[in-house]
Amino acid sequence: MPAEVNTQIENTFLSLPPLEREAIITHGAVIRLSSLKQRLFLAQSKVRSFEEKYQTTLETLNANGLPDQADYEMHEDYLMLMHWTEVAAQCEKDLAALEKIASRGLFSGGTGHVGS
């Protein structure tokens, strides 16, 4: 988004009453939490699937390298394992940040019931 559009959105948002801004952010955080939890579940499932298929973990592969007999499919799966591991880590990081907003609300008054 161009900077000018961002500024217009920010100015419009800031012109809203404080409680309305809090509600928008808190509700948005809750919706995003749901989406991130689904993505984390998918990423963790993909990682588990690889580990079960090859009976190894990313940590082991990174330490020892791929086996000499690794075929094209295992190389492709390894790349996907690295991707899904990164996705899971990012989701966990984002979830931790958003859970603070959802559980406390934006302002000191908070909305402790949100995300419960």
- Cβ-Cβ contacts under 8 Å for 94 (sequence gap 6 or more): 32, 36
Whether the full predicted model's pTM is greater than 0.85, yes or no, is no
List pLDDT tens digits, range 34-57.
999 999 999 999 999 999 999 999
List pLDDT tens digits, range 69-104.
999 999 999 999 999 999 999 999 999 989 888 776
Nearest to 61 by CA among 82, 44, 46, 40: 82
Q: Give a yes or no: residue 112 inside a domain.
A: no
Q: Give a yes or no: residue 48 inside a domain.
A: yes
Number of domains in the chain: 1
Q: Does residue 114 register a pLDDT over 80?
A: no
Q: Give a yes or no: residue 116 inside a domain.
A: no
Nearest to 80 by CA among 106, 58, 56: 58
Containing domain of residue 20, as a range? 3-104
Q: Give a yes or no: residue 50 inside a domain.
A: yes
